[in-house]
Amino acid sequence: MPFAIEINKLHKQYKGSWSPALDGLSLNVKENHVVGLLGPNGAGKTTCINILCGLVEPGEGQATIFGKDCVKDTLAIRRMTGVVPQQIALFYNLTAWENFYYTGRLYGLADKTIKEKGQNLLERLGLDKHADKRVGRYSGGMKRRANIIASLLHEPQLLILDEPTAGVDVQSRAMILNFLKEYHSKGNTILYTSHLMEEAEQICDEVVIIDEGKFVISGSPKELVANTADCKRLEDVFLHYTGHSVRD
Ligand SMILES: Nc1ncnc2c1ncn2[C@@H]1O[C@H](COP(=O)(O)OP(=O)(O)OP(=O)(O)O)[C@@H](O)[C@H]1O
Ligand SMILES: [Mg+2]
């Protein structure tokens, strides 16, 4: 099966930091898979995602998306990839529609296309009645759902989401997860991060555990549970490999 993402020995050390955020990280994401990038706080998940979408330059190593280099081919990658960042990337003083027109036009989409795609996604993610309200007035779950819509207007074949369900209620989470399953079933690839092991177990074909900027282990949640001694759930596997000490 071809890879949507190939990451080879990525190294990144931020200016002024004592230790690297990524320390030779290698991992692959198969096309048409849902892959969970898991790791404790500070493991390097967001840094990895930011390198993939060209926001952060790696010190060493290489990352490609559908064969395009994440440093050199950023325009091609932007067309193929939707990124939902960890922080809400919407203007709070604008309505959802105003935000979507802003983002859609940055991608070079015609207003007619933005309207069609936006309407469809608003209905699918339960925001159609709120699209003319300012995003600043939205609940946490609504902001997360609007954040996802903005990243999908250009119909990317790869969706990268950084903690898309952080801080949302059970209903919004269920809606987001069902939406991601549906998006995947249309032949698209998803890389996503979460601290919720049950959630990853539910939607991921494969999970990759990283810690301190390094690859730890990967596999299907079932396979990892079956192959790790005394583990009944993915959370046990996660703790087995990353330990119990909190990260400061
Ligand atoms: N802009 C930055 N400048 C300096 N250090 C940074 C910067 N961004 C991240 N770091 C450091 O790099 C390491 C990896 O951070 P990163 O945000 O990639 O981890 P993460 O796995 O996404 O964590 P979390 O689960 O908390 O979101 C951490 O030690 C963090 O403090
Ligand atoms: Mg992060």
Let me know how long the chain is: 248
State residue 205's pLDDT score.
97
CA 128 to chain centre: 24
Q: pLDDT value at position 247? A: 84
Ligand 2: distance of its center to the CA of 83 in Å? Answer: 13
Residue whose CA is closest, atom 4 of ligand 1? Answer: 14
Closest residue by CA, ligand 1 atom 17: 46
Count of Cβ atoms closer than 10 Å to residue 32 Cβ: 17
Query: Cα–Cα distance between 105 and 191 in angstroms, integer?
Result: 25
**Are the C-beta atoms of residues 84 and 162 closer than 8 Å to each other?**
yes
Q: Atom 3 of ligand 1 has which residue's CA nearest to it?
A: 14
**What tens digit of pLDDT does each residue of 187-202 get?**
999 999 999 999 999 9
Mutate to test the pocket of ligand 1, among 7, 46, 247 (most ligand atoms within 8 A of CB): 46
Q: What distance in Å separates the CA atoms of residue 137 and residue 98, rounded to the nearest whole number? A: 14
Positions in the chain whose pLDDT score sits under 50: none
Say which ligand is closest to the CA of 42.
1
Task: For residue 12, give the ligand nearest its CA.
Answer: 1
Residue 44 Cα to ligand 1 middle (Å): 6
> What would the pLDDT profile of 127-179 be if each residue is shown by its tens digit?
999 999 999 999 999 999 999 999 999 999 999 999 999 999 999 999 999 99
The answer to whether 121 touches 53, Cβ cutoff 8 Å, is no
Residues with CB under 6 A from ligand 1: 14, 17, 21, 39, 41-47, 86
pLDDT of residue 248: 75
Give the CATH H-level superfamily of domain 3-88+156-242: P-loop containing nucleotide triphosphate hydrolases (3.40.50.300)
Q: Which ranges of the chain would DSSP assign to H, the alpha helix?
A: 45-52, 74-80, 96-106, 111-124, 140-152, 170-185, 197-203, 221-227, 234-242
Q: For the chain, which residues make up each domain, given as ranges?
A: 3-88+156-242
From ligand 2's centre to the CA of 191, what distance in Å? 13
Question: What is the pLDDT, as a whole number, of residue 59?
Answer: 96
